[in-house]
């Protein structure tokens, strides 16, 4: 088969075979699943799907997910910016170790990310019983869910900012310093504007991961409907309870939220890449 655009020959393997393979892989692996989520949700009509989302437990799960996501994003963004600033702008002993520690949660299984908090705050944990006695409940309560989410989404802001900040060096910051700017002035008016698209991208990645986190939250939550169930956990409860339509309606909502966030991120990431001379993958 002759190629159309260029005279470059690709391979002996016929081009059409590779193209057919591409569409097959995309169709089976990437198109069928999302179509199925929506189809299962709408199996009994749009009205039914909406009704299941208005269930009190469903609403409480949505509320908890939104709260936990917002809290994790705010906290991890503040500390992520400071960590990236520290590592990118200064040279100090054990800088590499600190970078590795910040990256660490990426390589941890979600279940392990939940387990570690039970080791500290669970009934058999180091401080669990002592805290229980003074009325502080962390495991099987929203604070535990927050800690698990914070752990899982810990590296994303710093990780997205670091390559860009290192690339930009600190000439701008040094200039601002010589002009008498304070730390917060330099951070707000020099550094952050320079990395604003990357920061937004990191924040959105944190958001998407925080709202979808399942394994870590599942271990620390205790699965109390209406109290400690986030959207992913409620999906599991509904699905295991054979409430397929309700499960997939919630799944549609959650997936739409996560995909909108990720889609927004790709958009901003393209802008971030254009903002740098040599595009670097964050």
For the segment 110-129, give every residue that binds other proteins (CB under 8 A).
Answer: 110-112, 115-120, 122-126
Q: What value does the CA radius of gyration of the chain take, rounded to a whole number of Å?
A: 23
Q: How far is CA 79 from CA 64, 86, 102, 215, in A?
A: 23, 10, 11, 24
Residue span binding other proteins (CB under 8 A) among the ranges 49-57, 129-137, 163-171, 195-203: 163-171
Task: Write the burial class of residue 109 (CB in 10 Å: 0-12 exposed, 13-18 middle, 19+ buried).
Answer: exposed
Q: Pick the stretch among 46-54, 129-137, 193-201, 257-265 that binds other proteins (CB under 8 A).
A: 257-265
Write each residue from 18 to 57 as x if it is in contact with other proteins (CB under 8 A), else as -, in one continuous string: xx-xx--xx-xxxxxxx-xx--x-----------------
Which positions from 58 through 97 interact with other proteins, judged by CB under 8 A?
79, 82-83, 85-87, 89-92
CB of 55 or CB of 219, closer to other proteins: 219
d(CA 50, CA 33): 21
* Number of residues in the chain: 282
Q: Of residues 157, 198, 200, 258, which one binds other proteins by CB under 8 A?
A: 258
Least CB distance to other proteins at residue 240 (A): 9
Q: How many residues bind other proteins (CB under 8 A)?
A: 103
- In the complex, minimum distance from the CB of residue 182 to other proteins, in angstroms, rounded to a whole number: 6
Q: Residue 118 Cβ, how far from other proteins at the closest point, in Å?
A: 7
| Site pattern 122..161 for other proteins (x: CB under 8 A) | xxxxx--------------------x--xx--x-------
Q: How far is the CB of 28 from other proteins (least distance, A)?
A: 7
Is there binding between residue 245 and other proteins (CB under 8 A)?
no
Q: Using the rule CB under 8 A, which residue among 71, 131, 187, 275 binds other proteins?
A: 187
The distance of closest approach from Cβ of residue 63 to other proteins in the complex, given in angstroms and rounded to an integer, is: 17
Give min distance, CB of 82 to other proteins, in A: 5
Instruction: Find the binding residues for other proteins in span 197-226 (CB under 8 A).
Output: 208, 211-215, 218-219
Query: Could you tell me the smallest distance in angstroms from the CB atom of residue 278 to other proteins?
Result: 10
What does the alpha-carbon distance between residue 215 and residue 229 come to, in Å, rounded to a whole number? 12
């Amino acid at each position: 088969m002759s190629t159309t655009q260029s005279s470059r020959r690709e391979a002996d393997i016929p081009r059409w075979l590779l193209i057919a393979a591409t569409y097959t892989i995309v169709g089976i692996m990437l198109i069928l699943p999302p179509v199925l989520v929506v189809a299962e949700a709408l199996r009994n009509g749009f009205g039914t799907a909406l009704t299941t989302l208005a269930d009190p437990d469903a609403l409480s799960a949505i509320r908890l997910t939104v709260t936990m996501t917002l809290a994790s994003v705010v906290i991890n963004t503040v500390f992520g910016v400071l960590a990236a600033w520290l590592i990118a702008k200064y040279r100090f002993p054990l800088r590499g170790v600190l970078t590795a520690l910040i990256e660490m949660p990426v390589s941890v299984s979600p279940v392990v990310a939940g387990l570690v908090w039970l080791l500290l705050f669970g009934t058999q944990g180091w401080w669990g019983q002592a805290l229980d006695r003074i009325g502080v409940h962390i495991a099987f309560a929203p604070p535990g869910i927050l800690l698990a989410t914070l752990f899982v989404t810990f590296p994303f802001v710093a990780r997205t900012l670091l390559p860009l900040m290192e690339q930009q060096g600190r000439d701008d910051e040094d200039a601002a310093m010589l002009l008498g700017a304070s730390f917060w002035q330099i951070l707000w008016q020099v550094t952050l504007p320079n990395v604003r698209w990357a920061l937004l991208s990191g924040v959105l990645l944190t958001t998407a991961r925080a709202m979808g986190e399942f394994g870590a939250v599942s271990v620390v939550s205790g699965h109390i409907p209406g109290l400690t169930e986030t959207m992913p956990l409620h999906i599991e409860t509904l699905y295991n309870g054979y409430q397929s339509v309700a499960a997939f309606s919630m799944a549609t909502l959650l997936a739409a939220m996560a995909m909108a966030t990720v889609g927004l991120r790709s958009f901003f990431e393209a802008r971030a890449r254009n903002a740098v001379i040599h595009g670097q993958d964050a």
